[in-house]
């Protein structure tokens, strides 16, 4: 098939990374792929697509395609444009963030109706958008979780320095208020541990107290941006514990990657982890924003190498259930259903 793949932008996020992997897979299955961004600004993912041999255009005539795949809530405007003409799969990778956008821009809501299929990452998202979708055919709404695979040969261990503290804790995710990186840094500072706390991700915004920690003790508190995937994985692999202190997540690929590397996880207690990560079984959890409890959880992990190993092994076993092979198979099954429905309409 000829497939139009519409990505939000070319920044590195979990959704853009998964979208890239999907494009590579679909091309490998013989489909013709054209990439069109909603926001055409240059970014690392544009380089990745171009290096992989994909064509990128600002727009394209719909008659040239059999199917459109639109990624993230920010492609809703494109779903509105093409959904009435071309079978369109809308991959909504957000939850509360998307809800806020839709409440501020209700003119985007018809995209749910125009899309031939709407895909969420995790089951809880169905409830997030239920008020907008309950009158629609529920068979068009699907769950398709991202896959996570790590090739040990691609981990750039030589780029990561040996730690000079007793412990190393790492958080991976865009540096912005939703991810609450300041909570992670303050918890590490409050713990009293000899710990190096590192936040890895594109820097948008961080609160002033956290910024001061980084400026005053750069040897212990670090913000790292612009790293390649292999180097990010090397930092995570080198850590004694992995934290994601977010106030909101949908699937959080970085947590699954850390789990696959066998790291002891510290996660905020969010709906996206329901029936996946459970406190005391394969991670430790804390309410979002509860810096003291996060700090105490760090101390618990630091005090017990056995618990770190136990939780890390359980997390790895959980993450193994989310492979790229399963992601691709599920996505292709949904694609097949959409195209079969299209054929019935044409007949």
Selection from 103, 68, 95, 99 nearest residue 82 by Cα: 68
pLDDT of residue 346: 43
Residue 40 has pLDDT above 50, yes or no: yes
Cβ burial 292-324 (10 Å sphere, 16+ → b, else e)? ebbbebbbebbeeeeebeebbebbbebbeebeb
Give 283-345 as a DSSP string: BEEE-TT-HHHHHHHHHHHHH-HHHHHHHHHHHHHHHTTS-HHHHHHHHHHHHHHHHHHHHHH
Map 161-179 to HEC letters.
CCCCCCEEEEEECCECHHH
Once rounded to an integer, what is the mean pLDDT over residues 285-314?
98
pLDDT of residue 277: 98
Residue 341 has pLDDT above 80, yes or no: no
pLDDT of residue 342: 65
Residue 115 has pLDDT above 90, yes or no: yes
pLDDT of residue 14: 86
> Do residues 99 and 133 make contact, with C-beta atoms less than 8 angstroms apart?
no
The rounded distance, in Å, linking the Cα atoms of 184 and 304 is 20
| Domains of the chain by start residue, with CATH | 2-147+323-346 (3.40.50.2000), 152-319 (3.40.50.2000)
The per-type count for the chain, helices as H runs and strands as E runs, is: 14, 13
Once rounded to an integer, what is the mean pLDDT over residues 59-82?
95
Residue 345 has pLDDT above 60, yes or no: no
Residue 105 has pLDDT above 70, yes or no: yes
pLDDT of residue 160: 97
Residue 343 has pLDDT above 70, yes or no: no
CA dihedral 278, 280, 281, 286 (to 10 degrees): 30
**Proportion of the chain above pLDDT 70, given as a percent:** 98
Please name the residues in contact with 257: beta carbons below 8 A apart, sequence gap of 6 or more. 148, 150, 172, 233, 236, 319
Residue 331 has pLDDT above 90, yes or no: yes
């Amino acid at each position: 098939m000829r497939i139009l793949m519409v990505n939000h932008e070319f920044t590195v996020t979990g959704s853009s990374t998964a979208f890239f992997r999907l494009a590579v897979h679909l091309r490998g299955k013989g489909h013709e792929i054209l990439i069109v961004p909603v926001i055409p600004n240059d970014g690392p993912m544009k380089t990745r697509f171009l290096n992989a041999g994909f064509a990128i255009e600002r727009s394209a005539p719909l008659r040239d395609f059999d199917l459109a795949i639109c990624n993230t809530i920010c492609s809703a405007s494109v779903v509105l444009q093409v959904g009435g003409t071309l079978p369109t799969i809308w991959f909504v990778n957000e939850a509360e963030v998307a809800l806020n956008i839709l409440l501020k821009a209700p003119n985007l809501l018809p995209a749910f109706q125009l899309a031939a299929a709407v895909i969420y990452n995790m089951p809880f998202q169905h409830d997030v958008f239920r008020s907008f979708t309950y009158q629609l055919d529920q068979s068009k709404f699907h769950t398709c979780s991202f896959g996570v695979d790590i090739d040990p040969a691609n981990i750039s261990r030589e780029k990561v320095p040996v730690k000079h503290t007793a412990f190393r804790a790492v958080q991976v995710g865009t540096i912005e208020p939703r991810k609450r990186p300041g909570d992670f840094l303050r918890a590490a500072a409050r713990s009293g541990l000899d710990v190096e706390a590192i936040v890895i991700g594109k820097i948008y915004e961080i609160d002033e107290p956290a910024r001061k920690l980084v400026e005053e003790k750069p040897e212990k508190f670090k913000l790292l941006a612009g790293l390649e995937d292999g180097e990010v994985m090397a930092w995570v692999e080198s850590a004694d514990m992995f934290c994601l202190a977010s106030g909101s997540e949908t699937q959080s690929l970085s947590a699954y990657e850390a789990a696959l590397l066998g790291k002891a996880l510290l996660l905020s207690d969010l709906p996206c982890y329901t029936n996946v990560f459970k406190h005391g079984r394969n991670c430790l959890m804390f309410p979002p924003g509860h810096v003291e409890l996060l700090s105490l959880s760090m101390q618990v992990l630091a005090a017990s190498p056995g618990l770190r190993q136990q939780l890390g092994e359980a997390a790895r076993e959980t993450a193994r259930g989310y492979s790229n092979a399963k992601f691709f198979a599920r996505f292709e099954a949904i694609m097949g259903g959409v195209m079969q429905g299209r054929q019935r309409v044409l007949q």
